[in-house]
Structure 1
Amino acid sequence: MAQTGNKEPETKQPEKKLINLLRGWPSPHLLPSEILRRAADKVLSDPAVFVPALQYGPDPGYEPLREALAVWLSAAYGVKPDVRELCITGGASQNIACVLQSYTDPVYTLAVWAVTPCYFLACPIFEDAGFGERLRGLPEDEEEVDVEFLERALQECEEKEGREEKPYKHPTPHRKLYRHIIYLVPTCANPSGKTLPLARRTALVHLARRHNALIIADDVYDLLQWPTTTTTTPSSSQAEIPPLPRLSDIDIPLGPSPHDPPARHFGHAVSNGSFSKLLGPGVRTGWAHGTPDFAYGLAQTGSTRSGGAPSQLTAAIVTQVVVDGGLDGHLRERVRPALQARHTRVVEAVKRELGWAGVRVVESSEGGRGVFGGYFVWVTLPEGGPTAAEVAERARAEELIVAPGGMFEVGMGDGGRFERNLRLCFSWEEEEVVVEGVERLGTVLRRWYQGTVAVGEKWENAEGHK
């Protein structure tokens, strides 16, 4: 009897899960919903708390949170608590906009200097404030900010454009105008992961004071650091890494500068803090730390005075989390160990899966200090191979989203300086998924070097927020 020749039905291969190593969000498993629920129950069950929490608040922010933060931050940074140095904000990004509203002028302020590679969603905030044409990249070196380069650039800028025209704004008596803005993430920078050493921090503050510049320091990763030298499984029993002094901590004791108005001390550095990476971005609550005059002046921003203190109800809930010890426990028991474990795994995976191609990864945030922190690793591809943009495009065929270095060029330029760099986020996807993402990246590179590159569709608008 003749064979029919029927074939076995083809088995459809399961679709790959999309892996997003661009999104800079905390893992859903690290969100402290139960801690926040208990704190909210306390707040909303006591009229003495929820009545003021549900009303307009004082300009500088919810007073109990300012008091609790003053104590909590003093313990973290080893400084004397002073509630007058704090202003509650609606988060780090919103606060940058408020600082620009209160302390810059479209004519008087000459330029915004942003350390590059730069957190890419900061640039539109400066553009919205009218500084798109005066937004200038400040290159990193091995110790993050190249202070000598900045000093030369400030001098050249002032010689070329230094004529003081009459400003449009009238900030007195509670605010002043700065001639320059300097923006950076001094600890565990996004995206490079570098940390500005103490000597550089001091030099930068003194430079700012000479040139009437305000340093906006996004200190969002200061309390998310861990040792990289441990060979054991990360655990909550490991000693916490004390953060370096904030730029505002260095600046405040120096007293008024020649650029301060009489009887005022506004200072030249503001620490921009946030609970986004500590509790969750949806909390939309943060703080600014600076001199008492600066903090109060920031509280006089028009939108704050009209709408009341930012995050009034959430601030009341966060206060309970801080006072009850829930924040410390959450960071100690869950967040830092999880991020440390993810970082260890992703570095190992990069070496194992990409090292053969000459790919390098930043392992330590500050020289030989043996410390890392934050959400990202900064990867460098070898010369002669594909660019980061080409790798990112082809990674899409592997259902993988990564961030090419060109995204982090100040002003959204062509990214030529970072065409060999990729930023990989290890905070959003689960630990094993992050490792699988690096493995898929290895597949992309192998196909490239084997000449069988699978070209994927271009991708746009993948989220990645501060």
Structure 2
Amino acid sequence: MAASKEVKSSLIDFMRGHPSTSLLATSEMLAAANAVLGSSELPQDSFDKDRHPLHYGPDLGNISFRREIGIWSAARYGLNAPTDPEMINLTSGASNGLSKALELFTNPIGGYTRRAFILTPVYFLACPVFQDSGFANLLTAISLTSCGTSLDFPTLISELESSSSSPQKTSLEEATSPIKSVVPKPLYRHVLYCVPTFSNPTGTTLSLESRTQLVKLAREHDMLLITDDVYDFLDYQNSPNQPHKTAIKRLVDIDRELGVKDDEKGHTLSNCSFSKILGPGVRCGWVEGATSVLAQAMGKSGANHSGGAPCHLSSTIIHRLLLETGGKKRVIDDVIGNICVAYKRRAELLKKLIKEHWPEGTEVQGGEGGYFVWVKLPEGYDARDAAKVALERGVRVGEGDGFEVPVVKGVGERNVMGWGGRYLRLSLSYLEEDTIAQGIKVLGEAMRKPN
């Protein structure tokens, strides 16, 4: 029986936040896999700090790979010294990193963690992770400012002060008594989630002033700041010839600079991934804390201690791409440079065509890095209607309603910010330039003039 051919969708999908298949690091990963698995010098002892790719991995991941991440990422962030590998724990991607952090460092059901703050508009698939972790009734939306470089600090401060002053505080012992773990958990009273650089969905970047204020608030109110730093290196100023240093500090670096002792937990967790660089199928990422406390707690957790680092095989292959060998620069830097060149072209085309084919007064945020742009239609235009008409014509786009923080009946009505009326998210990572051009024109035709 002849095998059936794959049928590709004819839908022009601006909703899909995936990389183009043509940009996946297929040949680079193949070469690295052959070099790693074909090596005659693979570790043999299953208790080594660096282990054979097909053994169980160490709880935090191979030490040489974590050390190389610390060297490579510090260089890209323009830090004065490499990050201590003991501050780094490997994950199977940013979603796993977020889920694991909420599992280990928060306690909403026991009553110790009082509230989760979510910067909005939000990456829509992050909220179910919070709901799975017991925060369904405890989500509070904090709006980004119109330019996306800051947030509604007055509301955040008011909510934190109200929560912190509440007399009904559950003690650490009371909260953890039903779920005693082998290793004590460094819990927090509050947690806040955001994508501070080239945000999903807005494509905007929080200012240094806003980041610093957030870290100071976190320290004052025992709040863990979980930042998805997955787009940090996708700055369109990058090129294959000259890797570009990230211009703005991560919150975890600000936390360190403000001073934190080695045995303190800190108040930041940088959640990173190779998915946006090499391809999501590699299922490999890492988290980095201000000290080693959070990374070590993740490594010692039950699942990690049982199965080892959850991305062990792929991490040994990716490690090869991070090495400077024979005087040659890192393969991964070339991969990033090529991706950024492609995305920059797409972003410039997309913005140019929006200006030509969409209503006058349309505002576009983003387009300097990452995967997405966030578009605001002029007053009187209906984004929901435009998305519906476009879908009937074969073009799908992210409607603003989908990037709200969820509301549970009777709880969190204030979470709704009204993004659905005039806002759309467009992904530029998945579609090639010719398809982008077709889709933007169809969307423009779907914009109905107000009465």
Partner residue, 2:410: none
Q: 1:246 to 1:136 in 2, by over 3 A?
A: same
Q: 3-state DSSP class of the match of 1:87?
A: strand
Q: Does residue 1:339 correspond to 2:343, yes or no?
A: yes
Cα drift, residue 50 of structure 1: 7.0
Residues 1:205 and 2:204 aligned together: no
Determine if the alignment matches structure 1 residue 373 to structure 2 residue 377.
Answer: no
Query: Shift of the alpha carbon at 1:121?
Result: 0.1
Query: What's 1:249 paired with?
Result: 253
Out of 404, 423, 444, the residue aligned to residue 409 of structure 1 is 404
Q: CA deviation at 1:434?
A: 1.0
Q: Which residue of 2 aligns with 1:288?
A: 287
1:220 to 222, 230, 240: 230
Could you tell me how far apart the structure 1 residues matched to 2:252 and 2:182 are? 22
Name the counterpart of 1:178.
Answer: 188
Of the two, which has the highest radius of gyration? 1
1:235 Cα deviation after fit: 5.9
- SS of 1:114's partner is strand
Structure 2 residues not aligned, in runs of 5+: 1-8, 45-51, 325-329, 408-414
Q: Distance in 2 between matches of 1:255 and 1:171?
A: 29
* Same amino acid, percent of matched pairs: 37
The residue aligned with 1:115 is: 119
The equivalent residue for 1:462 is: none
In structure 1, C-alpha distance between the alignment counterparts of 2:315 and 2:153, rounded to whole Å: 37
- Give distance in 2, aligned partners of 1:343 and 1:171: 48
Deviations 1:228-280 (A, max 9, x none): xxxxxx964567252411111111233348xxxxx821100010000000100
Change (3 A) 1:360 1:276: same
Residues 389-408 of structure 1 show CA distances to partners (whole Å, capped at 9, x for unaligned) of 22211111110000100000
Q: How many residues align?
A: 414
- CA shift, 1:330, in A, is 1.1
TM-score of the two chains, using structure 1 as the length reference: 0.84
Paired with 1:310 and 1:449, the residues of 2 have a C-alpha distance of 52
2:136 aligned to which of 129, 132, 144 = 132
Mapped pair 1:194 → 2:204? yes
Higher alpha-carbon deviation: 245-254 or 158-167: 158-167
Output the amino acid matched with 2:14.
L
Residue number in structure 2 paired with 1:279: 278
Q: Which amino acid in structure 1 is aligned with residue 33 of structure 2? A: A
One-letter code aligned to 1:293: V
Matches within 5 A, 1:7-26: 17-26=10-19
1:42 Cα offset (Å): 1.0
Instruction: Give unmatched runs, 5+ long, in structure 1.
Output: 1-15, 228-233, 258-262, 365-371, 452-466
How far is 1:159 from its partner? 3.1
How far residue 99 of structure 1 moved from its aligned partner, in angstroms, is: 0.5
Q: Alpha-carbon deviations, 1:82-101, whole Å to 9, x = none?
A: 11111111100011111111
Structure-2 residue corresponding to 1:362:
365
Provide the rounded CA distance (Å) in 2 between the counterparts of 1:317 and 1:350.
41
Q: How far 1:223 moved relative to its partner?
A: 0.4
**Residue 439 of structure 2, aligned match among 432, 437, 440:** 437
Shift of 1:70: 0.9
Q: Is the 8 A contact 1:407 1:415 kept in 2?
A: no
> Counterpart of 2:349 in structure 1: which amino acid?
R
Asked if the contact 2:272/2:286 (under 8 Å) is kept, the reply is yes
| Alpha-carbon contact 1:275-1:286 (below 8 Å) kept | yes
- 1:415 CA drift (Å): 6.1
Rounded to whole Å, the distance in 2 between the matches of 1:92 and 1:121 is 11
Amino acid at match of 1:34: S
Residue 145 (1) aligns with residue 140 (2): no
Measure how far apart 1:331 and its partner are. 1.1
Distance 2:335 2:144 in 1: 33
Q: Would the alpha carbon gap of residues 302 and 84 (structure 1) be closer, same or farther in structure 2, given more than 3 Å must change?
A: same
Further displaced range: 138-147 or 196-205: 138-147
Of 158, 162, 167, 2:175 maps to 167
Q: Secondary structure at the match of 1:343?
A: helix
Contact 1:255 1:265 in 2 (8 A): no
| Secondary structure of the structure 2 residue equivalent to 1:245 | coil
Task: Specify the SS of the correspondent of 2:19.
Answer: coil
Amino acid at match of 1:184: C
Q: What residue is the counterpart of 1:157 in the other structure?
A: 163
Q: How far is 1:57 from its partner?
A: 1.3
